[in-house]
Chains A and B, each alone.
Chain A
Amino acid sequence: MPDLAILIPSVLNGLTTGALYALVALGLTLIYGVLHIINFAHGALLMIGLYAVYFLNVQFGVDPYVSLLIVPPLMFALGYALQRGIITRAGHGRDENILLVTLGLSIVIENLSLFVFKSDTRVIDTPYSFEVVEILGAFLPLPKVIAFVGAFVTAGILWVLMSRTDLGKAIRALAKERKGAKLVGINTEHVYAMSFGLGIACLGVAACLLLPSYYVSPQVGHGFVLIAFTIVVLGGMGSFVGALIGGLIIGVVEALGGLFLGESLGQIGIFVIFILVLIFRPTGLLGHKV
Chain B
Amino acid sequence: MRQLVILGIVFALIGLAPFVIASEFWLNLVIMTLYAALLGQAWNILGGFGGQFSFGHAAYFGTGAYTVAVLQVQLGVNPWLGLVAGGLMAVVVAAGIGFSTFRYGLRGSYFALVTLAFAEVLRILSNSVDFTGAGVGILIPLDQGAANFQFVSKQGFFWVIWLMALAAFTVVWWLGNSRFGAQLMAVRDNEDAARALGVSAFRVKMGAIMLSGLFSGLAGVFYAQYFLYLDPYIAYGPAISIESLLVPIIGGMGTLFGPLLGAVGLHLISELTRELIGDLPGISLVLYGILLVIMVLFMPRGLAGLVNRLRPKSAATGARHA
B293: CB under 8 A from chain A? yes
The answer to whether A115 touches B280, judged by C-beta atoms less than 8 angstroms apart, is yes
The answer to whether B289 touches A38, judged by C-beta atoms less than 8 angstroms apart, is no
The answer to whether A100 touches B127, judged by C-beta atoms less than 8 angstroms apart, is no
Chain A, Cβ-Cβ closest to B119: A271
A90: CB under 8 A from chain B? yes
The answer to whether A100 touches B286, judged by C-beta atoms less than 8 angstroms apart, is no
A153: CB under 8 A from chain B? no
B125: CB under 8 A from chain A? yes
Instruction: Report the contact-size class of chain A (Cβ under 8 Å from the partner).
Output: 35 or more
**How does the 8 Å CB contact mask read for B47-80 relative to A, with 1 for contact and 0 for none?**
0000001010000000000000000000000000
> CA separation between A101 and B292, bound complex, in Å?
7
Q: Is the interface of A mostly helix, strand, loop or mixed?
A: helix
Given contacts A226-B120, A267-B124, contact A279 B100 (CB under 8 A): yes
> CA separation between A90 and B300, bound complex, in Å?
9
The answer to whether A90 touches B117, judged by C-beta atoms less than 8 angstroms apart, is no
Within the complex, the shortest CB–CB distance from A114 to chain B, in Å, comes to 4
B118: CB under 8 A from chain A? yes
Given contacts A111-B286, A271-B124, A275-B117, contact A103 B300 (CB under 8 A): no
The answer to whether B106 touches A105, judged by C-beta atoms less than 8 angstroms apart, is no
Within the complex, the shortest CB–CB distance from A11 to chain B, in Å, comes to 23
Given contacts A265-B124, A275-B118, A279-B114, contact A104 B296 (CB under 8 A): yes
The answer to whether A114 touches B117, judged by C-beta atoms less than 8 angstroms apart, is no
The answer to whether B101 touches A114, judged by C-beta atoms less than 8 angstroms apart, is no
A229: CB under 8 A from chain B? yes
The answer to whether A226 touches B296, judged by C-beta atoms less than 8 angstroms apart, is no
Chain B, Cβ-Cβ closest to A275: B117
Which B residues are CB-close (under 8 A) to A290?
110
Quick one: which of A226, A280, A282 contacts B117, CB cutoff 8 A? A226
Within the complex, the shortest CB–CB distance from A113 to chain B, in Å, comes to 9
B235: CB under 8 A from chain A? no
A99: CB under 8 A from chain B? yes
Given contacts A96-B109, A107-B292, contact A275 B297 (CB under 8 A): no
B282: CB under 8 A from chain A? yes
The answer to whether B292 touches A99, judged by C-beta atoms less than 8 angstroms apart, is no
B128: CB under 8 A from chain A? yes
Chain B, Cβ-Cβ closest to A93: B322
Given contacts A96-B112, A97-B300, contact A114 B281 (CB under 8 A): yes
Which B residues are CB-close (under 8 A) to A105?
289, 293
Which B residues are CB-close (under 8 A) to A272?
121
Within the complex, the shortest CB–CB distance from A281 to chain B, in Å, comes to 10
Chain B, Cβ-Cβ closest to A261: B128
CB under 8 Å from chain B, chain A span 240-266? 262, 264-265
A108: CB under 8 A from chain B? yes
A51: CB under 8 A from chain B? no
Within the complex, the shortest CB–CB distance from B130 to chain A, in Å, comes to 12
The answer to whether B280 touches A90, judged by C-beta atoms less than 8 angstroms apart, is no
Tally the A-B contacts, defined by beta carbons under 8 Å.
116
A289: CB under 8 A from chain B? no
Given contacts A268-B125, A280-B104, contact A103 B117 (CB under 8 A): no
**How does the 8 Å CB contact mask read for A77-119 relative to B, with 1 for contact and 0 for none?**
0000000001001101001110111011111111110110000
The answer to whether A279 touches B101, judged by C-beta atoms less than 8 angstroms apart, is yes
The answer to whether B109 touches A38, judged by C-beta atoms less than 8 angstroms apart, is yes
Quick one: which of B55, B110, B289 contacts A108, CB cutoff 8 A? B289
Within the complex, the shortest CB–CB distance from B279 to chain A, in Å, comes to 12
Which B residues are CB-close (under 8 A) to A192?
none
Chain B, Cβ-Cβ closest to A101: B296
Which B residues are CB-close (under 8 A) to A97?
296, 300
> CA separation between A112 and B112, bound complex, in Å?
25
Within the complex, the shortest CB–CB distance from B260 to chain A, in Å, comes to 20
Given contacts A86-B297, A108-B289, contact A278 B114 (CB under 8 A): yes
Contacts A107-B292, A114-B281 supplied; 17 other A-B pairs, CB < 8 Å: A38-B112, A89-B297, A99-B55, A99-B109, A99-B112, A100-B245, A104-B291, A107-B285, A111-B285, A112-B286, A115-B280, A115-B281, A115-B283, A226-B116, A226-B120, A271-B124, A290-B110
Binding site for B on A (CB under 8 A): 38, 86, 89-90, 92, 95-97, 99-101, 103-112, 114-115, 226, 229-230, 233, 262, 264-265, 267-268, 271-272, 274-275, 278-280, 282, 290
Binding site for A on B (CB under 8 A): 53, 55, 100-101, 104, 106, 108-110, 112-114, 116-118, 120-121, 124-125, 127-128, 135, 242, 245, 249, 280-283, 285-286, 288-293, 296-297, 300
Leading 5 A-B pairs by shortest Cβ distance: A107-B289, A104-B292, A108-B289, A104-B293, A111-B282
Provide 13 A-B residue pairs closer than 8 Å at the C-beta atoms, listed in order of the A residue: A86-B293, A86-B297, A97-B296, A99-B109, A101-B296, A104-B292, A115-B282, A264-B124, A267-B124, A278-B117, A279-B100, A279-B104, A280-B104
